[in-house]
């Protein structure tokens, strides 16, 4: 994906899930170049708030990982806040064992984010049996922690190793070598159609038999391709669910616009989260 270059005299502020050297930070550096200020946030919700409160023009948030699935908090926040998805980006995630030490034999404990630990569980079991593993809020915080702590290792990317001056003791320790994280760029603007687009929507259905089938059949009848569907508890009533769907096309396309209007008839509400250029997963 090409960098999203900003042609402005003043720095464009882009929020990301910090601290510095997280995979979100790495994705942001790959996406944006030029006169751009990258600003780390403590939580994913803080990234949303930066955009909502116009502290940053856009933000970069993780939405799903090919091994560990959907980042549920990100999905829930699209229901809570009014922002648009402006772009998507797929980052190949390569996990490494990082440390200030020079040998794996000197490591007594390992730190990382829960997802990173899960992505390397089989490797840890085979190569560091019985090692103490501690969960932290990010891989970057893990790297920052072991920078100051002897006999400690962190699971993280080479980006974090470079930023914090750590040694890479073992490379590519993720169990699945096709490990990829998908990120969304969120903002207030809506990108124009490119001819190769994707639209993300969220909807809540009326409580009637066959409503989900009827709602989704509208897409099939109009030959609109659905590429992803997820459900999440609505958190308003027990056993009620929100559905999140990705479909090919732009909201301004005549065929897709007609399909969404027809789907609304069977929904309590339907929210278009954004239309944005479609990127091959690679």
Categorize the per-residue pLDDT at 230 as very low, low, confident or very high, splitting at 50, 70 and 90.
very high
Q: What is the mean pLDDT of residues 214-230?
A: 92
Binned at pLDDT 50, 70 and 90, residue 121 comes out as: very high
Number of Cβ atoms within 10 Å of the Cβ of 147: 17
pLDDT band at 236 (very low <50, low <70, confident <90, very high): low
Quickly name the fold that domain 12-93+180-187 has: D-Maltodextrin-Binding Protein; domain 2 (3.40.190)
Token pair listed for 53: 């409160």
Give me the pLDDT at residue 7, please: 46
Closest Cα to residue 216, out of 207, 199, 229? 229
What residue spans in the chain does CATH classification 3.40.190.10 cover?
A: 12-93+180-187, 96-170
- Residues 205 and 264: their CA atoms lie apart, in Å, by 9
* Domain at 197-277, CATH class: alpha beta
- Give yes or no for residue 167 having a pLDDT over 90: yes
Using an 8 Å Cβ cutoff, are 60 and 16 in contact? Answer: yes
Q: What is the pLDDT of residue 29?
A: 92
In the chain, where does the domain assigned CATH 3.30.70.260 lie? 197-277
At 3 the pLDDT is: 54
Q: Please tell me the CATH code under which domain 96-170 is placed.
A: 3.40.190.10
Tokens of 85: 């998805």
- 19: preceding bond cis by omega (within 30 degrees): yes
Q: How far apart are CA 79 and CA 28, in angstroms?
A: 23
Helix/strand/coil for 223:
coil
Give the whole-angstrom CA distance, residue 270 versus residue 248.
17
Q: Find the mean pLDDT for residues 182-205.
A: 94
pTM of the model: 0.86
List active site positions: 181, 183
Whether pLDDT at 24 is above 70: yes
């Amino acid at each position: 994906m090409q960098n999203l270059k900003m042609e402005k005299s003043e720095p464009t502020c882009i929020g990301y899930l910090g601290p510095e050297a997280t995979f979100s930070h790495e994705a942001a550096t790959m996406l944006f170049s030029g006169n751009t200020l990258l600003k780390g946030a403590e939580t994913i919700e803080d990234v949303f708030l930066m955009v909502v409160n116009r502290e940053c023009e856009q933000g970069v948030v993780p939405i799903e990982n090919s091994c560990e699935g959907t980042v549920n908090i990100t999905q829930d926040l699209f229901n809570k806040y009014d922002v648009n998805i402006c772009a998507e980006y797929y980052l190949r995630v390569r996990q490494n064992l990082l440390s200030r030490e020079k040998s794996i034999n000197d490591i007594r404990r390992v730190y990382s984010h829960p997802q990173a630990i899960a992505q390397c569980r089989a490797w840890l079991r085979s190569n560091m049996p019985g090692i103490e593993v501690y969960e932290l809020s990010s891989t970057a915080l893990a790297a920052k922690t072991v920078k100051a702590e002897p006999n400690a290792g962190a699971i993280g990317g080479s980006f974090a190793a470079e930023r914090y001056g750590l040694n890479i003791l073992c490379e590519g320790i993720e169990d699945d070598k096709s490990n990829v994280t998908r990120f969304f760029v969120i903002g207030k603007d809506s990108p124009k159609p490119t001819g190769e687009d994707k639209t993300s929507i969220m909807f809540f259905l009326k409580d009637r038999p066959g409503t989900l089938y009827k709602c989704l059949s509208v897409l099939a009848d109009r030959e609109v391709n659905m590429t992803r569907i997820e459900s999440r508890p609505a958190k308003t009533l027990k056993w009620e669910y929100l559905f999140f769907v990705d479909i090919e096309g732009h909201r301004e396309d005549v065929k897709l616009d007609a399909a969404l209007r027809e789907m609304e008839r069977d929904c309590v509400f339907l929210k278009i989260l954004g239309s944005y250029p479609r990127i091959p997963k690679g």
